[in-house]
C-alpha cells in the first residue's frame, strides 16, 4: 500500500491510495494519534513505557503546516505549534481512517 497523492484542506488531510481507496482524516484525530516517542511513549528493554513532557494542546496544535514524505512507507507532519517529530506510517494512517469512519 502506497500513497499516490496527499492534499491539505482546512479541516483535514485527503489521501489517495494506490488501491483506489480515498481517505479524509480530520486533523484532531490525526494529531491526537501522533506516534512520536513524546506523545505515544517509548519502551525500555524491560517493557516500561516512558512519556515525554505532555504539552497542552491549543488551536495551533491542530493546524497542519506541512507534509513530507518519508521514504516509501510514511509521512511526517509539521504542526503550527512546532511539533514535527511524528512519523505516520501508511498502515497507521489507514488505521486512523478506519477508526474515524467507523464512528
- List, in sequence order, the alpha helices (H) in the chain: 27-32, 37-40, 90-101
**pLDDT value, residue 92:** 95
Residue 16 near residue 5, CB atoms below 8 Å: yes
pLDDT tens, 18-33?
Answer: 999 999 999 999 999 9
Measure the CA–CA gap between 72 and 39, rounded to whole angstroms: 23
Parent domain of 80: 3-101
Using CA atoms of 54, 60, 64, 69 in order, give the dihedral in degrees to the nearest 10. Answer: -40
**Total number of domains constituting the chain:** 1
pLDDT tens, 92-101?
Answer: 999 999 876 6
CATH number at residue 85: 3.30.2020.30
Measure the CA–CA gap between 64 and 8, rounded to whole angstroms: 8
pLDDT tens, 40-57?
Answer: 777 778 888 777 777 788
Amino acid at each position: 500500500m502506497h500513497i499516490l497523492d496527499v492534499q491539505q484542506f482546512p479541516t483535514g488531510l485527503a489521501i489517495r491510495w494506490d488501491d483506489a481507496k480515498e481517505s479524509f482524516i480530520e486533523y484532531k484525530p490525526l494529531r491526537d494519534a501522533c506516534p512520536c516517542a513524546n506523545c505515544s511513549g517509548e519502551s525500555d528493554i524491560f517493557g516500561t513505557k516512558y512519556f515525554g513532557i505532555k504539552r497542552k494542546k491549543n488551536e495551533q496544535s491542530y493546524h497542519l503546516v506541512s507534509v513530507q514524505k518519508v521514504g516509501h512507507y510514511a509521512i511526517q507532519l509539521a504542526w503550527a505549534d512546532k511539533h514535527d517529530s511524528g512519523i505516520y506510517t501508511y498502515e497507521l494512517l489507514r488505521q486512523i481512517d478506519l477508526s474515524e469512519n467507523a464512528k
